[in-house]
């Protein structure tokens, strides 16, 4: 059957992840064919930096697709089918503060976990709400696929503000990336693996990895392997040192809690002191990513602009982020019912957790969106951790929507990377100062 062509809008298209996402769209052009691609960012200079490379790639590989760059939100969402949202409120400049300020207090400095994730969440919520409203003005039926971080907090906020909007899907690529790494270790095709998973975003566990072709659960084999071997990402050779360290910490977590396979992000909650101590307060992941991915992508784009051709330049490819985004959209667009780890309102997925939590679990993506698989009750240890973390997320959203300082202190005190309310206050006051353009608390 011929697949109908789609209109896609990328929000936050000035991200240096965009060229690789375009690479995925090119790679999947027969599976997810495009009619029009809109690249929208409020920061025109970031789009301009990458525009020529993107234009040349699209002219070469998808000449029939209409391409439109804009910094005008009133032009971005007209009759669109899919919005891929990857905005970063405050850009790298603010990510830098999110990571460095907590380290001053001996706390984890991370963009999505701990105080940094809190500050970033407070910045993301309002622009995301405004974006959904704008999209609904121009395209009431568009699918909004959100990857904006901290996705855990954004998901709770959007669900609270738009409880009846069935076409918002929050999804993270870390489980996808981990499955790709598991598949390499196990020497199987990643698309032959169907995961089972429970938790919250950046706070969850794999419980099963079914091999679809045989029905076998590969978790026991993988656990065996990880007891004796270092866990490495599938693309270890291209990864920066901090990410390799992160994957190694999965081995360490499994020594204490061998029951399930933890998401790498749990390292920040189990080993906050060790991680804060090891971090260099002058050089965090933001610096590493800037010196690595940002520089590499911007150099390629600059060359494309100067020579006005792609000669000698690679086609940047999104092995994880880009491929997953397009595969997710494809599964929804053509009702493929492929299984992903997704976020959904709990209701009864995990009956002994709050109904309004946005849990992360396995689910099939159909033309009606996510159909999450019921998980069942979680055991006491996990229940305790998850309730605590969800309380943190919920209070963060409430603090933001109500500008409520006290709730912010409560949230940060609940966060396992902080715990001490004195530290919560110190770090909050500092973060509030540098974020004054984005959020205030009273
Ligand atoms: C993973 C996470 C994302 C996060 C990204 C950070 O993919 O799932 O939520 O944004 O890592 O990557 P970076 O290279 O920018 O540190
Ligand atoms: Mn993520």
Coil, strand or helix at 204: strand
pLDDT in tens, 119-162: 999 999 999 999 999 999 999 999 999 999 999 999 999 999 99
Give 308 Cα–ligand 1 centroid separation in angstroms: 31
What count of Cα atoms within 13 Å lies in the side-chain half-sphere of residue 212? 10
- Please tell me the distance from the alpha carbon of residue 430 to that of residue 392, in angstroms, as a whole number: 19
Give 369 Cα–ligand 1 centroid separation in angstroms: 24
What is the CA angle 208-84-8, rounded to 5?
Answer: 125
Residue 1 has pLDDT above 80, yes or no: no
- Please tell me the distance from the alpha carbon of residue 168 to that of residue 164, in angstroms, as a whole number: 10
Is 95 assigned to a binding site?
yes
pTM summary value: 0.98
Residue 318 has pLDDT above 90, yes or no: no
Percent of the chain with pLDDT over 90: 99
User: How would you list the strands of the sheet with 338-345, edge to edge?
Assistant: 338-345, 358-366, 369-372
E strand or H helix at 372:
strand 369-372
Strand partners, 8: 37, 82
Query: 278, 254, 282, 284: which is closest to 266 by C-alpha?
Result: 254
Coil, strand or helix at 167: coil
Strand partners, 364: 339, 371
Say what the pLDDT of residue 314 is: 97
Strand partners, 280: 283
| Residue nearest ligand 1's atom 2 by CA | 174
The answer to whether 325 and 297 have CB atoms below 8 angstroms apart is: no
Q: For residue 292, give the ligand 1 atom closest to its CA.
A: 14
Q: Is the distance from the beta carbon of residue 173 to the nearest atom of ligand 1 less than 6 Å?
A: yes
Q: Is the distance from the beta carbon of residue 285 to the nearest atom of ligand 1 less than 6 Å?
A: yes
Give 315 Cα–ligand 2 centroid separation in angstroms: 24
- Please tell me the distance from the alpha carbon of residue 278 to that of residue 108, in angstroms, as a whole number: 10
Strand partners, 262: 205
Task: Give helix 295-307 / helix 18-27 axis angle, nearest 10°.
Answer: 70
The answer to whether 57 and 23 have CB atoms below 8 angstroms apart is: yes
pLDDT in tens, 383-404: 999 999 999 999 999 999 999 9
Among the bound ligands, name the one nearest to the CA of residue 320.
1
The answer to whether 18 and 39 have CB atoms below 8 angstroms apart is: yes
Q: For residue 174, give the ligand 1 atom closest to its CA.
A: 8
Coil, strand or helix at 145: strand
Is 61 assigned to a binding site?
no
Q: In Å, how far are 174, 289, 377 from 243, measured between CA atoms?
A: 12, 11, 32
* Band of residue 2 on the pLDDT scale cut at 50, 70, 90: confident
Q: What is the DSSP string of 221-265?
A: HHHHHHHHS----TTGGGS-HHHHHHHHHHHHHHHH-TTSEE-GG
Is 302 assigned to a binding site?
no
Mean pLDDT of the chain: 98
Strand runs labelled E in 165-229: 168-170, 193-200, 203-211
E strand or H helix at 31:
none
Coil, strand or helix at 170: strand
Give 5 Cα–ligand 2 centroid separation in angstroms: 28
- What is the topology classification, in CATH, of domain 6-172+286-317? Rossmann fold (3.40.50)
Classify residue 309 by its DSSP letter: S
CB proximity list for 163: less than 8 A, separation 6 or greater: none
Residue 411 has pLDDT above 90, yes or no: yes
Residues classed as catalytic: 173, 265
- Please tell me the distance from the alpha carbon of residue 357 to that of residue 346, in angstroms, as a whole number: 5
- Please tell me the distance from the alpha carbon of residue 267 to that of residue 270, in angstroms, as a whole number: 5
pLDDT in tens, 202-261: 999 999 999 999 999 999 999 999 999 999 999 999 999 999 999 999 999 999 999 999
Q: For residue 293, give the ligand 1 atom closest to its CA.
A: 14
pLDDT in tens, 345-385: 999 999 999 999 999 999 999 999 999 999 999 999 999 99
pLDDT in tens, 156-173: 999 999 999 999 999 999
Is 91 assigned to a binding site?
no
Ligand 1, pocket-test mutation among 20, 87, 149, 171, most atoms within 8 A of CB: 149
What is the CA angle 84-90-96, rounded to 5?
Answer: 115
Q: Torsion over CA of 98, 100, 101 and 102, rounded to 10 degrees?
A: 90
């Amino acid at each position: 059957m011929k697949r109908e062509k789609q209109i896609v809008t990328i929000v936050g298209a000035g991200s240096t992840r965009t060229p690789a996402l375009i690479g995925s769209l090119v790679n999947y052009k027969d599976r997810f064919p495009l009619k029009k691609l809109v690249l929208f960012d409020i920061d025109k200079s970031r789009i301009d930096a990458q525009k020529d490379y993107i234009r040349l790639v699209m002219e070469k590989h998808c000449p029939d697709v209409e391409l439109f760059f804009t910094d005008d939100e009133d032009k971005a969402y007209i009759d669109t089918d899919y919005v891929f949202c990857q905005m970063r409120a405050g850009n790298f400049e603010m990510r830098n503060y999110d990571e460095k300020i907590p380290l001053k207090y001996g706390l984890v400095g991370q963009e999505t976990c701990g105080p940094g994730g809190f500050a970033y969440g407070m910045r993301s919520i309002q622009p995301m709400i405004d974006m959904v409203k704008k999209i609904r003005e121009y395209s009431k039926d568009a699918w909004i696929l959100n990857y904006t971080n901290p996705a855990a907090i954004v998901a709770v906020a959007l669900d609270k503000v738009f409880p009846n909007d069935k076409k918002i899907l929050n999804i993270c690529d870390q489980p996808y990336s981990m499955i790709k790494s598991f598949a390499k270790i196990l020497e199987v095709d990643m698309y032959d693996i169907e995961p089972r998973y429970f938790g919250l975003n950046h706070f969850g566990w794999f419980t099963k990895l079914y091999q679809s072709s045989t029905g076998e659960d590969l978790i026991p084999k993988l656990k065996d392997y990880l007891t004796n071997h270092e866990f490495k990402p599938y693309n270890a050779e291209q990864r920066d040192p901090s990410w390799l360290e992160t994957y190694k910490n999965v081995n360490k977590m499994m020594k204490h809690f061998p029951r399930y396979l933890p998401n790498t992000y749990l390292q920040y909650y189990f080993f906050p002191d060790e991680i804060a101590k090891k971090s260099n307060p002058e050089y965090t992941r933001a610096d590493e990513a800037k010196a690595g991915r940002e520089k590499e992508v911007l150099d390629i784009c600059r060359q494309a602009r100067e020579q006005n051709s792609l000669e000698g330049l690679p086609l940047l490819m999104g092995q994880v982020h880009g491929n997953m985004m397009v595969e997710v959209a494809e599964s929804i667009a053509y009702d493929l019912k492929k299984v992903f780890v997704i976020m959904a309102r709990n209701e009864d997925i995990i009956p002994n957790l709050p109904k309004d939590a946005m849990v992360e679990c396995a689910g099939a993506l159909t033309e009606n969106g996510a159909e999450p698989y019921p998980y069942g009750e979680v055991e006491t240890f996990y229940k305790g951790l998850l309730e605590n973390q969800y309380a943190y997320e919920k209070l963060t959203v409430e603090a933001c929507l109500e500008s409520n300082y006290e709730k912010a202190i409560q949230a940060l005190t609940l966060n396992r990377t902080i715990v001490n309310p004195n530290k919560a206050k110190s770090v909050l006051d500092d973060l509030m100062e540098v974020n004054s353009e984005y959020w205030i608390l009273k």
